[in-house]
Amino acid sequence: MKQNPKFWLFAVVLFFSPWVGAEVVIDEITVTADYRGRSLVDVPFSVSSMSEDFISEVAVQHFEELVNLVPNMNWSGDGHRARYFQIRGVGELEQYQGAPNPSIGFLIDDIDFSGIGSIATLFDIQTVEVLRGPQGSRYGANALGGLIYMRSTDPSAQRNGRLQFTAGDDDALSFAAAFGGSFNGSESASYRLSAQKYQSNGFRDNPFLNRNDTNGRDETSLRARLHFEPSKTVDIDLSLLYSNIDNGYDAFSLDNSNTVLSDNPGKDAQESLGAAIRLDWRAFGDTTATSITSFADSSIDFGFDADWGNDESWAPVTYDYVSINDRTRRTVSQEFRLGSEQWLIGLYALNLVDEILTVNLGDYYDPYYDWADSLDDRFGSDYEANSVALFGQYDHDFSSATRFSAGLRLEHRSTDYLDTGGLSTAPSEAMWGGEIGMSHDFDALTAYVSLAKGYKAGGFNLGAVPAGKRDFDSEAMWTIEMGVKALLLDSRLQMNAAVFQYRRDEQQVRTSTQLIPGDPASFVFFTDNLGEGKALGVEVDARWFPIDDWEFYVSLGLINATLQSGREQAHAPPFSAAAGIAYRNPNGFFARLDAVAKDAFYFDVSHDQKSEPYHILNTRIGFDLESWMLSLWARNLFDQKYAVRGFYFGNEPPDFPDALYTRSGDPRQIGVTIEKRF
């Protein structure tokens, strides 16, 4: 990658230059996705944690805006919003077809949205955590590569709230409100409610339809959290969530520009309702019993114009194809845990039901060869999975500075599948994962080493697939990691660094092929085992407050992730980095500048086309007073064009030559945000 060495040299020198000033202490960060809610310095694995204040300064609307700030993390632009994530090169690129089998877990307030994370809007989110590496003992088969955990703002007995308005390019408008407090002045019962409506026309133009909103955004989010303390030993937390993401999907063009010509623009919509109730009972001394019950119901409507054109653009050839996918997913889970500061045992059960109907329609007529064809293909499937897991964790202090930890999870999954093609199957499988680790506290840092095993269930591919590709085996992933977590310079510098190596046995990859050349709706996406995959990587992230009012941060990810063939894994850039500087004056003025860099990466395992490396610059400036906030922001300030997904196939009649088609990320966006607090 042709990076700008002067830019990054300046960033590093500036970050570590010997500033001298008044003491600024970094607040302790608690990792809420951990079983015990330990400090970031104490958890023996690699994790990035982002607070509400940080999120509000570096992002505008959605979790995808935070991805580039996390070392060795990427996302696939296969839908309108990011819902498929890759951590250290592990993770799906899409799921048009097939039973759900995610590699990256995604939880919002203890509600599981793994594989369908497009609802991850950011208003009134208190913390976002990204756990990197296999989470086999904590979260099982859905967290082979890592976990994303979002937590909305906790209820508080103190009455408070805020109103927020945002306006930006492409007619973007957002109205949001959040408020909370106690019930009738009670110290033992409190609530938090939030609501947001966001709309944008999007940045693509469709001159054929004379519209500029075919790839627009219409996103509604409602959240409620209730907290009760019926006694001194019992806490009850109830979380409710409703999200309606009703976005257009008109993202591809033949010349890879932002001008599209489709006559049947698609949509990428997801309506979700979720709930979770958590009960913590401090039963005997330091022993706590925990119950977490969650429910989620999602309807996903994903469709697109498969030929990306219209009758005029393809004349005299008739070439008109559309693909429509309607999916319903319901999950119910129950977890029981009993544990103390040293040990923990638990039982987990999950029922998942996934129903999908895919409709592909098309007409083709080539007057040069007097050849015609039509397509009317409808395919439906019903899938149900039941998982039961027994897990435990044990921690032992050899001394006040040296700790040993071990975790184990045993999981059994049984499935039932039936489709309109006549396939009926009911496979079941037993799996296990876990980790062992050691950590030692030095004067100013904690060093750790760990060995972890993650796992992912095998399964089967649906519909028409290449010969011999109906079934695929389960995958196991072994990771060894060594790292340090430091709090230096009188708690003004926080730094985390890790080096890791993993091996993937029977590596599962999602790939695609075109069954019928010239038929853009005949793409089939299937899972295959590609033998052994491996990776070696480094991750660094740091925050530094050299003097009052100033903050610097940097994150760096280096990885060499390869398939058994020796080629790099898809969506695993060898180099990714972010750096930022922020100034906050006691009088309320603030300004920040954030830079992101990403190396070239392969788009898929089915072809060898790569993205171009890119740099993005974001900035924000404004005033943040006790009850008011006003900010002017810009994302992708220099309007860098970059790709977030790429396909290589033939889509242009009559000869259909193979070509690379990419979906670009968001261009420059400038806007203003006003917030009133009370």
| Distance between CA atoms of residues 275 and 112, nearest Å | 10
- Condensed to tens digits (0 to 9), the pLDDT of residues 20-71 reads 344 555 666 777 777 777 777 778 889 999 999 999 999 889 999 999 999 9
Q: State residue 19's pLDDT score.
A: 42
Helix (H, G, I), strand (E, B) or coil at 321: strand
pLDDT at 644 over 70: yes
Cα 222–chain centre separation: 20
Query: How would DSSP label each residue in 394-420?
Result: EEEESSSSEEEEEEEEEEEEEEEEEET
Q: How confident is the model at residue 522 (pLDDT cuts 50, 70, 90)?
A: low
- Say which residue, 92 or 174, is predicted with more confidence: 174
Counted residue by residue, the chain has a size of: 678
The pLDDT assigned to 77 comes to: 75
- Which two tokens mark 605? 């395992």
For residue 387, the model assigns a pLDDT of 96
- Hey, is 377 helix, strand or coil? strand
Whether the per-residue pLDDT at 551 is higher than 90: the answer is: yes
Interval 272-288: pLDDT, tens: 999 999 999 998 888 99
Specify the higher pLDDT residue, 441 or 513: 441
Q: Domains along the chain?
A: 5-677 (2.40.170.20)
Is 14 a residue whose pLDDT tops 50?
no
Q: What pLDDT is attached to residue 632? A: 98
Average pLDDT over the chain, rounded to an integer: 91
- Please tell me the predicted confidence (pLDDT) of residue 540: 97
Which residues contact residue 57 at a Cβ distance below 8 angstroms, ignoring those fewer than 6 apart? 582, 590, 592, 620
Q: Are 602 and 609 in contact (CB under 8 A)?
A: yes
Structure tokens at 135: 């989470």
Q: Which of the 8 DSSP states describes residue 591?
A: E
So what's the pLDDT on residue 15? 46
Q: 3-state DSSP call for residue 141?
A: helix
Contacts of 257 (CB under 8 A, 6+ apart): none
Quote the pLDDT of residue 11.
47
Amino acid (1-letter code) at residue 425: T
Averaged pLDDT for residues 458-471? 77
Q: Hey, what's the torsion of the CAs at 276, 277, 281, 282, to 10 degrees?
A: 40
Measuring CA to CA, which residue among 119, 174, 181, 178 is closest to residue 150?
Answer: 119
What secondary structure does DSSP assign to 461-513, as a single string?
--SS--TT-SEE--EEEEEEEEEEEEEETTTTEEEEEEEEEEEEET-EEEEEE
CA-nearest of 297, 301, 277, 281 to 289 is: 281
CA distance 115 to 527: 15
Q: What was the pLDDT predicted at 208? A: 96
**If you average pLDDT over residues 135-160, what whole number do you get?**
92
**Which tens digit of pLDDT belongs to each residue from 333-387?**
999 999 998 999 999 999 999 999 999 999 999 998 899 999 999 989 999 999 9
Model confidence at 254: pLDDT above 90 = yes
Residue 5 gets the label, from left (phi > 0), alpha (psi -120 to 50) or beta, of alpha
Sequence-separated (6 or more) residues with CB below 8 Å from residue 580: 58, 552, 553, 554, 592, 593, 594, 595
Integer Cα distance of 150 and 64 in angstroms: 13
pLDDT at 9 over 60: no
Per-residue confidence at 95, pLDDT binned at 50, 70, 90?
Answer: confident
Tokens matching residue 239: 């979380």
Residue 5 pLDDT greater than 90, yes or no: no
Question: Are the CB atoms for 457 and 429 separated by under 8 Å?
Answer: yes
Cα 174 to Cα 71, 124, 217, 662, distances in angstroms: 30, 13, 11, 29
Tokens of 45: 């694995």
pLDDT digit string, tens, across residues 312-322: 999 999 999 99
User: Max alpha carbon distance in the chain (Å)?
Assistant: 83
Using CA atoms, how far apart are residues 576 and 558, in angstroms rounded to an integer?
7
Q: What does the pLDDT look like over 603-625, one tens digit per residue?
A: 998 899 999 999 999 999 999 99
At residue 11, the 3 state secondary structure works out as: helix
pLDDT at 517: 66
Q: Is the pLDDT of residue 649 over 80?
A: yes
